[in-house]
Amino acid sequence: MHDVFIKLELTTVFGKMSGDPADPLLLGIHGWSQRNGWHTWEPLMAPLAEAGYCVVSVDMPGWGDSPALDSLPLGGSRAAQVIIDILDGLQKEEAVLMGKSWGGGVAVKTAVSYPERISKLVLTAPALRNFDQLSQISQQVLLTWAEDDPVIPVTMSSEFTRRVKDIEYISYPTGGHSAAMKNAEDFAPHLVDFLNGEL
């Protein structure tokens, strides 16, 4: 794993990379709290790299070591554009997006707005305000949630399984608001199968 600095027009995004840069890209997006950052997806980076993927997990602008774009909150279309700018900075035409909580909402917005750039979605307890956009997702989705999530209740998963056309869902008894990461040993093989079209 090594540091990456991705130059955007208004800032430089910091992240960590595991795997060969020539391999298919998985981009990890963290949650809203300032405790979050590139390390959110760290438990899954090594197994995904070993499976033949280039995994980049970033501090979004305004978090960690990535300076903010400006004084405005980052969200919606602006956040989706940042994701596309990151892909451009990494010289990747396409990526799988992995999003936790707020990052899951950003991943959904990006997939709907730029379907030609996003091949699949991996979501853990995604935070969404507008569930109508779920029916617009054309990509395959792997969703995971913990039954003891204290932030976004697991019952919200039914909105996704009901509205998304092509979705696989895995729930865990424990894991809090970080189902994928806290259950990484079990989740990683499922994720690799999903990426390889075997789930």
The confidence band for 10, taking pLDDT boundaries of 50, 70 and 90, is: confident
The predicted structure's pLDDT at residue 73? 83
Mean pLDDT of the chain: 96
pLDDT at res. 199: 63
Q: Is 175 exposed, middle or buried (0-12, 13-18, 19+ CB in 10 A)?
A: buried
**pTM of the predicted model as reported, rounded to 2 decimal places:** 0.95
**Domains of the chain, start order:** 2-195 (3.40.50.1820)
List pLDDT tens digits, range 29-64: 999 987 889 999 999 999 999 999 999 999 999 999
79: closest CA among 55, 99, 65?
99
> Once rounded to an integer, what is the mean pLDDT over residues 171-195?
97
Please say if the pLDDT value at position 72 is more than 90.
no
**In whole angstroms, what separates CA 20 from the centre of its chain?**
19
Give, in degrees to the nearest 5, the angle at Cα 77 between 104 and 71: 100
Predicted pLDDT at 172: 98
**pLDDT, tens digit (0-9, with 9 covering 90-100), for 129-157:** 899 999 999 999 999 999 999 999 999 99
